[in-house]
């Protein structure tokens, strides 16, 4: 019998947001690099929605020393570890009158949402570094709070730093350095808790435009400013589609290579991986993606992790529109086809029942919701809506959708109901309810779906055909290829290649030596599955220097599948300390399953 779920409930949170709902928090934290901990307090202001006398918060590996009212009177509380997926349940007796509590606490070294880097693990090699990663459910490991995307909050913060380093947050930041090391922040617009972000390090500051700047280690700043110099143009393009930018500033911080994602859309301070700095702007669509989230994901957000597709599907589509506007239709079409290729690959390995837009992860790790279906299948759905309605009518729908739900967290069912009242009423001649429901709840892709194409890839397909027929790599015509052509070429190579073919490709195109992380990872996967051991030293270096989950998890998986258990284990033992704690947890499970 299939387990029944209430889709209005966030099964990854233990908090009682439907009874007492926190709406603002005031953080006061001291950053201690020697102990690798944050210590201080958080004031939580809440609204009473029922007569409940208990405020329930989420936590994970937190040391709570006391909880009081604002008058200093101690409150009774309990702290119970529930399970690994949800963490700890913090229950506070608040009686019938209180609307604010003060939690005094400190974090532990096990905090999955914080990574503490030694000076040796940074680019400058002189100063330590701290950064957070709250998404999906790790804010609770550095702040006791109602850690659910449906619990949007405003916040203020005072962060004390002692060693002359700079602190920045997902809030209003200042380029000035306070003499006493006390940094203050304010976020007056309600955001989901997974967008709470903090970084502390030797951070230089450089402006891209009047409302966009970059923070990063000094040695990285010039490269970052050059790579991301088109960001203001992206903001203007986005505004032309979805209205004025709603967060005042769009600043970015380029983090150390151990940051586990390509980017993280924290409002006013997007976190960006340095692996995007390829020197030719070929990977900046990730910046466009994080910017697009400013509307779809930050302004309108998912209510639970089942509903992640509402963030990522619309944002992936919106990213493609930005790329088209800034870099042209050929580039946008190339990226769309590659996106479809990623989806096709995952369709081969993902159970069919999991190939729906909603990620049915209610009793699974919230990280499992980040798959190609919540991103790329959802994007294909939005692309089809545009095709059916026509761009002008679709843009009007998208604009109205964002304005209707701004600063709200919604479920899949909320979206479906809205679509029934708008799309199916105004555009019934081109879209039926059955087609809508097939896209949202159906498995795989609808039978009528027509995949994206790009004539720009004809020359790549010709080269692939010639190579598979025995033509040497040196004879292939590749002179005018872009990075995306190379991506398509590598990912579409025959699954099985012999050593002569692999050496021919590598000697001709120097794939093993590629400085583009995307191309290198794609090539390493091809080489590993075909036992081309020449790449193993480079794979070892790559996995030891880069902690981006998009690259790290597939490479370890390929090594394990191809029978390199000993080599993979040795690499992981060497590299593990440099990975973000949240990634360590996922990789530990992978190796345990293969031991």
Q: Which residues are catalytic?
A: 290, 375
> What is the total residue count of the chain?
595
Contact 291, 302 (CB under 8 A): no
- Nearest Cα to Cα of residue 519 among 538, 497, 496: 538
Dist. CA 27–CA 461, nearest whole Å:
55
Count of CB atoms situated within 10 Å of the CB of 557: 17
Contact 171, 142 (CB under 8 A): no
- Nearest Cα to Cα of residue 422 among 381, 384, 385: 385
The kind and range of the H/E element at 476 are none
DSSP 8-state assignment for residue 296: B
- Looking at the DSSP assignment, which residues form a beta bridge with residue 35? none
What three-state secondary structure class fits 290?
Answer: helix
Rounded to the nearest 5°, which phi and psi values hold at 222? -60, -45
Cα radius of gyration (the chain): 24
- Looking at the DSSP assignment, which residues form a beta bridge with residue 183? 159
- Looking at the DSSP assignment, which residues form a beta bridge with residue 27? 42, 157
Which residues are CB-contacts of 479 (< 8 A; sequence separation ≥ 6)?
Answer: none
Contact 308, 415 (CB under 8 A): no
Joined tokens for residue 327: 């870099």
Dist. CA 400–CA 165, nearest whole Å:
43
What three-state secondary structure class fits 71?
Answer: coil
- Looking at the DSSP assignment, which residues form a beta bridge with residue 40? 29, 105
Q: Is 393 exposed, middle or buried (0-12, 13-18, 19+ CB in 10 A)?
A: middle
* 3-state helix/strand/coil string of 351-397: CHHHCCCCCCCCCCCHHHHCCHHHHHHHHHHHHHHHHHHCHHHHHHH
CA end-to-end distance (rounded Å), the chain? 33
Which residues are CB-contacts of 570 (< 8 A; sequence separation ≥ 6)?
Answer: none
Contact 60, 190 (CB under 8 A): no
Max CA separation in the chain (angstroms): 80
Dist. CA 423–CA 300, nearest whole Å:
18
């Amino acid at each position: 019998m299939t387990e029944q779920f209430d889709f209005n409930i966030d099964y990854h949170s233990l908090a009682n947001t439907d009874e007492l709902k926190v709406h603002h928090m005031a953080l006061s934290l001291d950053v201690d690099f020697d102990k690798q901990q944050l210590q201080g307090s958080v004031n939580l202001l809440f609204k009473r929605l029922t007569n409940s006398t208990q405020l329930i918060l989420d936590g994970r590996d937190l040391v709570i020393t006391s909880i009081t009212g604002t008058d200093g009177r101690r409150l009774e509380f309990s702290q119970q570890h529930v399970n690994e997926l949800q963490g700890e349940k913090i229950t506070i007796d608040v009686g019938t009158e209180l609307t604010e509590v003060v939690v005094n606490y400190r974090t532990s070294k096990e905090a999955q949402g914080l990574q503490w880097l030694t000076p040796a693990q940074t680019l400058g090699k002189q100063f330590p570094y701290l950064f957070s990663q709250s998404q999906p459910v790790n804010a609770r490991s550095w702040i006791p709070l109602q850690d659910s995307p449906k619990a949007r909050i405003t916040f203020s913060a005072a962060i004390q730093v002692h060693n002359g380093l700079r602190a920045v947050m997902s809030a209003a930041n200042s380029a000035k350095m306070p003499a006493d090391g006390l940094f203050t922040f304010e976020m007056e617009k309600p955001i989901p808790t997974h967008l709470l972000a903090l970084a502390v390090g030797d951070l230089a500051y450089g402006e891209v435009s009047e409302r966009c700047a970059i923070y990063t280690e000094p040695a990285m700043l010039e490269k970052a400013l050059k790579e991301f110099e088109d960001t203001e143009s992206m903001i203007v393009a986005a505004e032309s589609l979805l209205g004025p930018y709603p967060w005042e500033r769009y600043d970015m911080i380029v983090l150390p290579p151990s940051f586990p994602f390509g980017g993280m859309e924290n409002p006013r301070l997007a976190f960006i991986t340095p692996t995007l700095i390829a020197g030719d702007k070929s990977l900046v669509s990730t910046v466009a993606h994080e910017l697009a989230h400013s509307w779809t994901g930050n302004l309108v957000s998912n209510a639970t992790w089942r509903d992640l597709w509402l963030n990522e599907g619309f944002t992936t589509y919106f990213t493609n529109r930005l790329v088209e506007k800034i870099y042209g239709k050929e580039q946008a079409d190339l990226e769309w086809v590659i996106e479809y290729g990623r989806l096709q690959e995952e369709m081969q390995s993902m159970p069919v029942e999991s190939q729906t837009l909603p990620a049915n992860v209610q009793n699974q790790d919230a990280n499992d919701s980040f798959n190609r279906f919540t991103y790329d299948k959802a994007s294909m759905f939005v692309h089809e809506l545009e095709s059916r309605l026509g761009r002008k009518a679709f843009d009007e729908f998208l604009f109205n959708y964002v304005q209707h739900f701004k600063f709200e967290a919604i479920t899949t069912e909320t979206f479906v109901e809205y679509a029934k009242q708008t799309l199916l009423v105004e555009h019934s001649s081109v879209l039926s309810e059955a087609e809508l429901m097939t896209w949202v709840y159906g498995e795989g892709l609808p039978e009528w779906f027509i995949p994206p194409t790009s004539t720009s890839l004809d020359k790549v397909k010709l080269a692939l055909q010639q190579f598979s027929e025995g033509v040497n790599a040196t004879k292939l015509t590749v002179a005018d290829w872009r990075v995306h052509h190379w991506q398509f070429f590598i990912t579409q190579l025959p699954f099985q290649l012999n050593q002569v073919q692999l050496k021919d490709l590598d000697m001709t195109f120097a794939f093993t030596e590629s400085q583009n992380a995307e191309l290198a990872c794609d090539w390493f996967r091809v080489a590993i599955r075909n036992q081309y051991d020449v790449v193993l030293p480079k794979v070892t270096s790559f996995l030891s220097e880069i902690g981006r989950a998009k690259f790290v998890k597939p490479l370890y998986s390929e090594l394990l599948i191809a029978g390199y258990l000993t080599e993979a284990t040795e690499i992981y033992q060497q590299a593990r300390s440099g990975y973000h704690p949240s990634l360590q947890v996922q990789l530990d499970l992978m190796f345990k399953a293969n031991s």
